[in-house]
Amino acid sequence: MSDPEEISVGQREEGRGKKNPVRLPSALCPHPYSRNVVLACITTATFTDLVAYSVAVPILPDYATRFNASPTMIGLLFASFGLTLLVLSIPMGALSDRLGRKGPMIFGLALLAGATLAFAYATSLPMLFVARLLQGAADGMTWIVGFALIADLYGPAERGRAMGLAMAGSSLGIIIGPVLGGWLYEIGGIRLPFLFVAALAVADLIVFALVAPRTHGSGTSAPMRQVLMHRPIAICALVVIAGGGTIAMLEPVIPLVFRTRLGLGPGAIGTLFGIAAVASTAMHPIYGRLSDRFGGRRLMMIGLVASALLLPLLSAATDFRSAVFAMVPMWMVFSMIVTPSLAYMAEAASAAGFESYGVVYGVYNMAWAVGLMVSPALGGFLLERIGFEALTITWGVFLLVIGLILARLR
């Protein structure tokens, strides 16, 4: 990074010599370590977002009592997060392509802090819905802009490693959030967990504003229709829907099945998910490096096939120990879909000549939101109709079909 004036960041379009339109002044990133500082800031921002997403889990009973909310209403409250994420992902990505990355990321962190404060001081159920909708918008902004900036800063030979590290750090938020929320609630009541997370978001905002380079947007972005019609990007989005949807399907189904079949209580089930999440988090950097070496497409395909084969093993669990041995490999394989797909999105966009990583990761986030919104309800419906064993086999066949489609892609 030693051009005298302005330099393009990330990958130059292979074989074309074009520059990415999001450009960084070289004085602000004179050394690779500067990129690593920005990567750490992005990771902290997405970590905070996941903490904000999950910190309310142990506080749900209190909300239900305070506002006389039914379980269905609480479920709709949490589902509303995915609504704004789905609707606003691509527009937010396009905005960051036009304006640059720094301003939208700062705005996203400010919105996250405001949404979390709204949770802390909500006096009615409609206020909680507004807070959750704003939280979904903030999630879209921080993740889309953050990973678009990583794609800008890191070339194809190191992009998977950078995204793997970001995913590993971010995923800790899902593990820490519920624990943090429960303990802070015990110490200081219902507001303290949200006040803590809001303060963390403000701290992230200040640090990012100080250390992140000032980027210049292109003033334009690739049309959404053109991006979606590019076959590798569309198939990668399908993989994201399948992979993210599988995780979202299992999260409500496994507690129901393991409680009735194995007699596991909430504590044991929470421990199961915690162990699986730690194993998954540890694999993100490894899969990131493998993506740089072998390509994201190949790892995604392996991850889909391995997930399809491992899914039926969940129905063979007979006690806590066998449940651990079934869940841990499953969650480790999920990481083989997530991290390589993040790297492959940028790879496919560069190969197609798209220079708008914001729109591309907007498509990625939109696909993830579709999986989150559709799969839990579908999984519950199939569980009632055909049972857990048939559900895992049927879902596994679906993953194999997606893997076959990906394998045929050239």
Token look-up 């009541």 returns 189
CATH number of the domain located at residue range(s) 31-211 in this protein: 1.20.1250.20
d(CA 12, CA 34) in angstroms, rounded, equals 20
Residue 202 has pLDDT above 90, yes or no: yes
Dist CA 358 CA 152 (whole Å): 10
| Residue 198: per-residue pLDDT | 93
CATH fold of 224-408, please? Answer: Growth Hormone; Chain: A; (1.20.1250)
Q: How far is CA 23 from the centre of its chain?
A: 25
Q: Span 20-46, mean pLDDT?
A: 64
pLDDT: is 65 or 6 the higher one? 65
Residue 9's pLDDT band (boundaries 50, 70, 90)? Answer: very low
Q: Is the pLDDT of residue 22 over 50?
A: no
Report the alpha-carbon distance of residue 359 to residue 356 in Å, rounded: 6
pLDDT of residue 117: 92
Taking only the tens place, the pLDDT of each residue in 238-248 is 888 888 888 88
25 forms beta bridges with: 6
**For position 201, what pLDDT does the model report?**
92
The whole-number pLDDT of residue 407 equals 78
**What's the pLDDT score for residue 221?**
64
Q: Kindly indicate the confidence band of residue 169, based on its pLDDT and cuts at 50, 70 and 90.
A: confident
Domains 31-211 and 224-408 share a fold: yes
Domain boundaries, the chain: 31-211, 224-408
Q: Which of 193, 163, 201, 196 is nearest to 357 (CA)?
A: 163
Please report the pLDDT score of residue 228 as a whole number: 76
Decide if pLDDT at 410 tops 50: yes
* pLDDT single digits (tens) 87-143: 888 888 888 888 788 888 999 999 999 999 998 888 888 888 898 889 888 988 898
Is the confidence at residue 27, as pLDDT, over 90? no
Q: Give the burial string for 207-241 (b: 16+ CB within 10 Å, else e).
A: bbeeebbebbbbeebbebeebeebebbebbbebbb
pLDDT band at residue 60 under the 50/70/90 scheme: low
pLDDT confidence of residue 218: 57
Confidence at 409, pLDDT banded by 50, 70, 90: low
| Spatial separation of the C-alpha atoms in residues 249 and 308, rounded to whole Å | 14
Q: Dmax of the chain from CA atoms? A: 66
* Amino acid at position 181, single letter: G
Residue type, 15: G
For residues 360 and 409, what is the distance between their CA atoms, to the nearest angstrom?
19
pLDDT, average across residues 138-152 = 87
Q: 262 pLDDT band (50/70/90 cuts)?
A: confident
Least confidently predicted of 19-23, 208-212, 308-312: 19-23
**pLDDT (0 to 100) of residue 111:** 93
Q: How far is CA 407 from CA 235, 290, 303, 400, in A?
A: 11, 18, 12, 10
Task: Give the residue among 410, 354, 386, 395 at the shortest CA–CA distance from 22.
Answer: 354
Task: Look at residue 354 in the predicted model and tell me its pLDDT.
Answer: 73
Mean pLDDT of the chain, nearest integer: 80
pLDDT at 12: 37
Task: Dump pLDDT digits (tens) for 61-96.
Answer: 677 777 887 766 766 777 777 788 888 888 888 888
Q: What is the pLDDT of residue 113?
A: 94
